[in-house]
Amino acid sequence: MRIGELAEATGTTTKTLRFYEDQGLLPAADRTPSGYRDYTPDMLGRLDFIHRGQAAGLTLAQIKQILGIRDSGTPPCGHVSDLLTERLRDLDAQIAQLVDLRRSIAELHDNAALAEPDTCPPDQVCRYL
Amino acid sequence: MRIGELAEATGTTTKTLRFYEDQGLLPAADRTPSGYRDYTPDMLGRLDFIHRGQAAGLTLAQIKQILGIRDSGTPPCGHVSDLLTERLRDLDAQIAQLVDLRRSIAELHDNAALAEPDTCPPDQVCRYL
DNA sequence: CTGGACCTTCCAGTGCAGGGGAAGGTCAAG
DNA sequence: CTTGACCTTCCCCTGCACTGGAAGGTCCAG
């Protein structure tokens, strides 16, 4: 199948597919005599995997790593598990940080709601922040 | 005071201060006869405000907007309050999204913990993702 | 008068994941 | 034979907040 068909079938764009090839997430595609990329149907599964990885918040670099392991003939499940563990740790930290930030902004905002703007000293710009 | 002193006093770098001037967050500084930037002490408060804004997760563009209002002579408190409201909405959405993501990754990870890698069909790359 | 610390401008790059658009080749239909 | 849809490579642009480095000017101590 040609690049446009693959793009439509996987809900992406031809730009993105060429970019993935360039980044090493997709193998260099076969070419027709006229130079068009000619994809085999197994690229559908590979693209779906890439999308699942992205949905899980993995970077393209991490997905590439997993694909590389699979391409070398080894099931990448162990590495996937490690990446997911790491991802959970990062997410927990990120969520905690955002919750903290939310709390302190809510506090600032509550103060700002009582605004008496004219009492705001100019050299502080705004005393509610 | 010179740019290096201001940078040290506010815990930033000379690069950043020039960048802020370039972006319009700091007014064009006065110059000594030899062309060095010569800052007045009120830049300390302004820089602190910028840092407080960043700590609240505002972008430099938003902070610039607030500073512009203040520079025009109006207390920016109303606008600050609006920005904080918006920020709370964004944070709530972002936190909810991350919590969702965390849940679905935890599920994937629980499955991966039971890994039987050899049952992983290669065309799916890894059945745990 | 020399060395080193500081300052100036300007250009370019970082990370992430692509997107925009030019210039040109190919293919099928009318 | 031409039109239009598709494909190719190529290079630059996006947003965000800086950071690095080159080439040159200035200031002060020794």
Per-residue pLDDT reduced to its tens digit, A67-92 = 999 999 888 888 899 999 999 999 99
Q: Is the CB of A2 under 7 A from strand D?
A: yes
Q: What is the DSSP letter of B74?
A: S
Residues A66, B125: C-beta atoms closer than 8 Å: yes
**Residue B71: HSE in the Cβ half-sphere, 13 Å Cα cutoff:** 13
Beta-carbon separation of A98 and B95 below 8 A: yes
Tell me the three state secondary structure of residue A21: helix
What was the pLDDT predicted at A125?
A: 77
Instruction: Give the predicted TM-score (pTM) of the model.
Output: 0.86
Residue stretches of chain A with pLDDT short of 70: 115-119, 122
Distance from CA of B34 to the nearest CA of A (A): 29
The nearest alpha carbon in chain A to B75 belongs to A117
- Phi and psi based region of residue A125 (left: phi greater than 0; alpha: psi -120 to 50; beta: remaining): left
Q: Can you give the C-alpha Rg of chain A in angstroms?
A: 24
Predicted local distance difference test score (pLDDT) of residue A91: 94
Write b or e for each residue in A78-110: b if 16 or more Cβ atoms lie within 10 A of its Cβ, otherwise e: ebbbebbeebbeebeebbeebeebbeebeebbe
- For the CA of A128 and the C1' of C9, the distance in angstroms is 38
Residues lying close to strand D (Cβ under 7 A), chosen from 36-55 of chain A, are: 36-37
